[in-house]
Chains A and B, each alone.
Chain A
Amino acid sequence: MTHALILPILLPLITGAGLLLLYRLPFGVQRLAGLASTLGLVALGAWALVAAGGGEYRLYHAGDWPAPFGIVLILDRLGALMLALTALLGLACLLYASRGIDRRGAHFHALFQFQLAGLNGAFLTGDLFNLFVFFEVLLIASYALLLHGGGRARSRAGLHYVIINLVGSALFLIALGTLYGLTGTLNMADLALEVAAAPPGDAPLLAAASMVLLVVFGIKAAILPLLFWLPRAYSASSAPVAALFAIMTKVGVYAILRVFLLVFGLGEAPVNAAAWQWLWPLALATLALGGVGVLGSDSLRTLTAYLVIISVGTLFATLSLVTPATLAAALFYLVHSTGMAAAFFLLADLLGQQREEGYDRFSVEAPMGHRPLLGGLFFLAAIAAVGLPPFAGFVSKAWILQASVDEPRWLWLWGLLLAAALLTLIAVSRTGSRWFWRPGPIKTPRPLDRGGLAVVAALVALNGALSALGEPVMGYLALTADQLLAPEAYIAAMLPETPALALGVSP
């Protein structure tokens, strides 16, 4: 298993490249190849969780070049968690897409695999420049996936999405150039040591580079001033693509955690203190805006896009408290919110197909087929998304509230988190009562997409299972948080020759 660590990147990359070359293959074969590769990724994700669960770091030196000069992949608990989450989400989205949406444009399966390769690469790399490269891989796949199916709304949303991300990439490179110019390295562990030992004269430039990085990751994660591309882009794309995009904002969260806890978190006066100060009010404002957006949405997909924004606000507000407890609680919420956002995007498509007109818009009152079954599923999904028991949203939110109560600023978080949940509850119950309680006579009932229904039901059931398995999951996440807050071990694993570190970590 020495090469297992590079497989999460290579497997989808090779499958995607093969699908691109063999595009004349029968469609069923392409589907099978995509599904087989994604199933392989699920297995690899499970392996990664076991391999990293013990707490030791696994490294893969590409071409056997040692760090900090070679390209190094590194797996820790957080990386394994993200790998497994991506694989499961990818499988659900691909299964749903295989119900027919993948036929609406060219090369869906190849692009999907490239997207997964980019995501997995971003979670595994131990080098900032490779993080940039994998970001670009996942972004260019996401640009094409966003446009999958075509149409005016997608072109319009795509322009904004592509342009803002290209500007983000330019900023990313500016930050990398500044960091390289100051320290002479881009390996994250090496960079952490160099930043901690940098002369005081370099501090303003380092702080500037860290803030530019915060803006870049903020664009990906969609935090307040940088989120206006998100509702339009997510609500315009096809359902499985939007569901897969639920993990894209989490890539920004992951990158912020990695960079600001590891690279800028060492030394007497860590550079990252300013970042947490900025994140706190911005996250609260994001949360408030998400709540208002949910209430003001005009379609179920827009509502779900604002649910994503609420989850980003909640995550950053909790993370910026930087204690082991809040970090672990936030990671639980990350898993829950990613799954539920995906379920809701798929559900919006499922419900939209059954309505006679208006697709998923609230302003149109249209009869809907199969109301008892779909209504029941919507009820369960809505409860899970709002965070009511017995689903994982309740566990994660209760944990966030409990973990933050010792903080002096807890009242803000409690107030906004609960207010946003209330607004979400109002919005989804309004939707539910409008769609399911005001029936008109249905003229031509359409056949129910049972496969799609099963995928959504499985996502909701997984959320319930996450809640039932709360204790072991919490244990794993608490260990993950401890590992994140002790980056010395990461550095020692990456650079074994470095003498024992005497650097303290302060949040």
Chain B
Amino acid sequence: MELLYALTLGVLTTCGVYLLLRARTFTVILGLTLLSHAVNLYLFASGRLVAGAPAIVGLTEGAADPLPQALVLTAIVIGFAMTAFVVVLALKAAVELRNDHVDGENPDEDRL
């Protein structure tokens, strides 16, 4: 399980960083989403990975650590809010600047 988990995190982070560096608002938002997924999974794993253990103390013998789950929940909520904000901002910027590059101008165009 650990190997699969680590590989997933690695792939998500790599793709996220690659997409971030594409510097178009749509890919940047996708990249940020992938990155925040990777971060949330990483936070979740910081309480150690155990199978079949609920995060409620007293329900079973070996309960999973509940704190990372609370942290992840908060991080997911914040992440969603932020992603929604960037989407709206990217739309606004695309309309105002007539361009989807994060710099607001297309580097391939001739600047005269």
Given known A136-B78, A169-B82, A180-B67, contact A159–B89 (CB-CB < 8 A)? yes
Question: Do B71 and A129 touch (CB < 8 A)?
Answer: yes
Q: Which residues of B contact A162 (CB under 8 A)?
A: 82, 85-86, 89
- Interface members, chain B 48-94 (any A CB < 8 Å): 48, 65, 67-68, 71, 74-75, 78, 81-82, 85-86, 89-90, 92-93
Q: Is A129 in contact with B74, judged by CB distance below 8 angstroms? A: yes
Contact present for A160 and B96 (CB under 8 Å): no
Selected interface stretch from A52-60, A171-179, A388-396: A171-179
Which residues of chain A are within 8 angstroms of B25 by Cβ–Cβ distance? Answer: 159
A140–B110 alpha-carbon span in the complex (Å): 35
Name A151-201 residues within 8 Å CB distance of B.
Answer: 151-152, 155-156, 158-160, 162-163, 166-167, 169-170, 173-174, 176-178, 180-181, 184, 186
* Nearest CB of chain A from residue B79's CB, rounded to whole Å: 8
Contact B97 A155 (CB under 8 A): yes
* Residue among B36, B40, B104 with max Cβ neighbours from chain A (10 Å): B104
> How many whole Å from A235's CB to the nearest CB in chain B?
15
Mark out the residues of chain A between 99 and 135 whose CB falls within 8 Å of any chain B CB in the assembled complex.
129, 133
Closest to B25 in A: A159
Q: Assuming A167-B20, A174-B39, A174-B42, is B93 touching A159 (CB within 8 A)?
A: yes
| Interface of A: prevailing SS | helix
Decide if A143 is an interface residue (CB 8 Å cutoff).
Answer: yes
**CB-based contact A160/B81 at 8 Å:** no
The residue from A155, A167, A169, A186 contacting B96, defined by CB atoms under 8 A apart: A155
Contact check, A180 vs B47: say whether CB atoms are below 8 A apart. Answer: yes
Within 8 Å CB of B39, what residues of A? 170, 173-174, 177
Say yes or no: B42 contacts A140, CB within 8 Å. no
B93 contacts A155, CB within 8 Å?
Answer: yes
Verify if A242 is at the interface (C-beta below 8 Å from B).
Answer: no
Q: Is A11 an interface residue (CB 8 A)?
A: no
A147 within 8 A of B: yes
Minimal Cβ-Cβ distance residue in B for A161:
B89
B residues near A152, Cβ cutoff 8 Å: 96-97, 104
Take A180-B67, A180-B71 as given contacts and tell me if A147 and B104 are in contact as well, using a CB distance cutoff of 8 Å: no
**Partner of A156 from B28, B35, B93 at Cβ < 8 Å:** B93
- Quick one: which of B75, B86, B96 contacts A163, CB cutoff 8 A? B86
Most buried by B among A144, A152, A162, A184: A162
- Please state if A173 and B43 are interface contacts (CB–CB under 8 Å): yes
A143-B43 contact in complex given A136-B82, A180-B71, C-beta closer than 8 Å: no
Q: Are B102 and A160 in contact (CB under 8 A)?
A: yes
Task: A160 to B90: give the CA distance in the assembly, Å.
Answer: 11
- Contact partners of A170 in chain B: CB under 8 A: 32, 35-36, 39
Cα distance A159–B104 when bound, in Å? Answer: 9
If A163-B86, A167-B32 touch, whether A133 touches B104 (CB-CB below 8 Å) is: no
Residues of B within 8 A of A173 (CB): 39-40, 42-43, 75
State how many angstroms separate the Cβ of B75 from the closest Cβ of chain A.
6
Expressed in whole angstroms, the Cα–Cα distance for A170 and B28 within the complex equals 14
Within 8 A of B (CB), among A409-440: none
Residues of B within 8 A of A (CB): 20, 25, 28, 32, 35-36, 39-40, 42-43, 45-48, 65, 67-68, 71, 74-75, 78, 81-82, 85-86, 89-90, 92-93, 96-97, 102-104
| 4 smallest beta-carbon distances between A and B, as pairs | A181-B46, A156-B104, A177-B46, A155-B93
Would you list 23 pairs from A and B whose C-beta atoms are within 8 A, ordered by A residue?
A: A136-B78, A136-B82, A140-B82, A143-B89, A152-B96, A152-B97, A155-B89, A158-B93, A159-B90, A159-B102, A162-B86, A163-B28, A163-B32, A163-B102, A166-B82, A170-B39, A173-B43, A177-B42, A180-B46, A180-B47, A180-B67, A180-B68, A181-B47
